[in-house]
Structure 1
């Protein structure tokens, strides 16, 4: 019995380490490779170099795609946070009608396969004769990430005490003043966390972008096109920087989405 008690934790640790290596081990390959030169398909491990990062600054096609991705992500975040906040406030209001249908419409594009969402948007844009452009990509990404933003803000809104709003109205505040001075400060952390997660999703989205894009390509679409010809060494540097950037974003998002009591407890420790 004692042997089994000792073997169980060791087996659990081994299994956990195996899963971590299986999931995150491949991510280390481009990061490590970005600091070594590649010649004739062989990596030169003899001398580290940052030449790949210097080459990345001169790769105009990749940098242009990255800039487009940032613009799309920023636009999708602004629209989704504005719409998600408004829809969450409507859903939480006592006089709201069609709540279940509202949630069905919001969550449907997020739960459906991206290719279906992208095709639906493509058909819609063609029917209304809306030319595909950077704007259509932003609209497509907004439709996709809206459910995440809406649910995050609604969860925080429902956790607030209704007496806050009632007290604000009793003191003579208008609806706008109640939102600006009472609700917005309490929702700000959830809005920031939702915005970061929405940006991360938008940054990675490929299938919807392929179907609604015009002449401009986002970074995932550009990398997908490069797969047929092979990646240059500077792409390893790009992957390393993107991984670092997304990791920092996720840590910030977790910080903002954690309950206030948990944050206070960690600060005390």
Structure 2
């Protein structure tokens, strides 16, 4: 067997193992949703049922926690994305020796444990009279999620042709016109990707949210609290619904992207 053939088989085996590692737990979780057992498991199989979707619909606390998570994630989008974009644009203009220090300073929240961020945020804002809740959760999460946005926008900026910027300014465009008509359209793919990452990072966050959420329990904190009293497959039902919604949105986005690409090719 040739080395190329062996390499191809090795790559295929790796791909199979990789996707199995990613999707097998999701399949097990989805299967547990239909198991007539009070515990989220597939063994032993006590029969097929749909009653856990009814249990989920009747769990008001779960839906309230889900709504809180969505509100917090939306707030993080409104705060972290503009901060991350502005930070990336600022770093792109800095050419002094202080740039590595500023870069490391901005990235430091990513290296800080979420527990530390949550506790420090709570202590600081409590001194100013702000107690725990959704507002404080947005502030706490945005401190490190903005760094993710900055990284993605910075990576896009590094491939930007600065001659286009100088040409626009030489032709009489203002800084705002240059940003709105040239730089912003170029950054849109990175901004959209960063917004999705920011939303997901906020939605799944637990360590920071645990200390600042107060009585406005988010979904991750609610599920963690249910572990002490006993989880039911209603959690699996919610997970299955979220997976289906995510897959549907991904399909819609891909279809839209391909149509736009085909429209662009046809116009050329």
TM-score by length of 2: 0.82
Change (3 A) 1:11 1:186: closer
Q: Distance in 1 between matches of 2:223 and 2:198?
A: 21
Alpha-carbon separation, structure 1, partners of 2:10 and 2:155: 38
Deviates more, 1:240-249 or 1:229-238: 240-249
Computed over aligned residues only, the root mean square deviation of the Cα atoms, in angstroms, reads: 3.3
Deviations 1:36-84 (A, max 9, x none): 4326886433x4x433223322211000000000011111012111111
2: CA distance, partners of 1:242 / 1:88: 32
Q: How big is the shift at 1:151?
A: 0.8
Structure 1 residue 168: deviation in Å? 1.4
Classify 1:27/1:171 alpha carbon distance in 2 versus 1 (closer, same or farther; 3 Å).
same
Given that 2:38 and 2:233 are in contact with CA atoms closer than 8 Å, whether structure 1 keeps it comes out as no
Matched residues in 1 for 2:23 and 2:140: separation?
30
Residue of structure 2 in register with 1:222 after alignment: 222
Q: Aligned partners of 1:98, 1:255: CA distance in 2, in Å?
A: 44
Larger CA deviation: 109-118 vs 77-86:
109-118
| 1:157/1:4 CA distance change after superposition, 3 Å | closer
Q: Is this contact kept in 2: 1:206–1:221, CA < 8 A?
A: yes
Does 2:36 match 1:26? no
- For 1:3 and 1:178, how far apart are their aligned partners in 2? 55
Tell me, in whole angstroms, the C-alpha distance in 1 between the residues paired with 2:126 and 2:188.
37
Q: Counterpart of 2:34?
A: 35
1:250 shift after superposition: 7.1
1:139 aligns with 2:145: no
Residue in 2 that maps onto 1:163: 163
Cα 1:50–1:188 shift into 2, 3 Å? same
Q: Distance in 1 between matches of 2:199 and 2:238?
A: 18
Distance 1:254 1:190, change over 3 A: farther
What are the ranges of 5 or more consecutive residues in structure 2 without an aligned counterpart? none
Answer whether contact 2:137 2:212 (CA < 8 A) is retained: yes
Partner of 2:59: 59
- Between the aligned partners of 1:27 and 1:63, the Cα distance in structure 2 is 21
Partner of 1:192: 192
| Corresponding residue of 1:210 | 210
Q: Distance in 2 between matches of 1:166 and 1:13?
A: 47
Is this contact kept in 1: 2:134–2:213, CA < 8 A? yes
Equivalent pair of 2:133/2:213 in contact (CA under 8 Å):
yes
Aligned residues: 259
Distance 2:178 2:145 in 1: 27
TM-score by length of 1: 0.82
- The match for 2:183 is 183
Distance in 2, matches of 1:228 and 1:144, equals: 29
Distance change in 2, residues 1:248/1:142 (3 Å): farther
Q: Distance in 1 between matches of 2:3 and 2:183?
A: 54
- Contact 2:38-2:232 within 8 A present in 1 as well: no
SS at match of 1:232: coil
Kindly tell me: are residues 70 and 97 of structure 1, through their superposed partners in 2, closer, same or farther at Cα, counting changes over 3 Å?
farther
* Alpha-carbon distance change, 33 to 101 in structure 1, aligned in 2, over 3 angstroms: same
